[in-house]
Amino acid sequence: AQTVTQSQPEMSVQEAETVTLSCTYDTSESDYYLFWYKQPPSRQMILVIRQEAYKQQNATENRFSVNFQKAAKSFSLKISDSQLGDAAMYFCAYRSAWRSDSSNYQLIWGAGTKLIIKP
């Protein structure tokens, strides 16, 4: 079974600085998808960025980028120029790609990292 580990319960960063949130996962599959979600105090979960495992190029979305190391099974999120609005819980998630011998495409979640932005 797949597992997702976020080893940092809490991280803090000075406004305008860069912070990296770590995520590692365990799987025997070769094709899958990885996601980072953000949950601000409003509790609305929203997608930050996604990565397809077959793509070598790291995904980027404006100030958000990932460092995807497939061999190491690592999927870290880098937030550049941190802003007060980035303060939230961040969750990493894994999802299997389609396989003919499988029927389970459930999302597997990490425990989350609370990101604090210091003004």
Query: What does the binding site for other proteins look like in residue numbers (CB under 8 A)?
Result: 33, 35, 37, 43-47, 50, 52, 89, 91, 93, 96-98, 103-107, 109-112, 114
* Identity of the residue, 10 or 16, whose beta carbon is nearer to other proteins in the bound complex: 10
**DSSP 3-state assignment of 86?**
helix
CB-CB contact of 48 with 60 (8 Å):
no
CB of residue 113 vs other proteins: minimum separation in angstroms? 10
Stretch (H or E) spanning 68: strand 64-69
Taking the CA atoms of 65, 48, 34 and 113 in sequence, report the sign of the dihedral they define: positive
CB of residue 51 vs other proteins: minimum separation in angstroms? 9
* Identity of the residue, 60 or 105, whose beta carbon is nearer to other proteins in the bound complex: 105
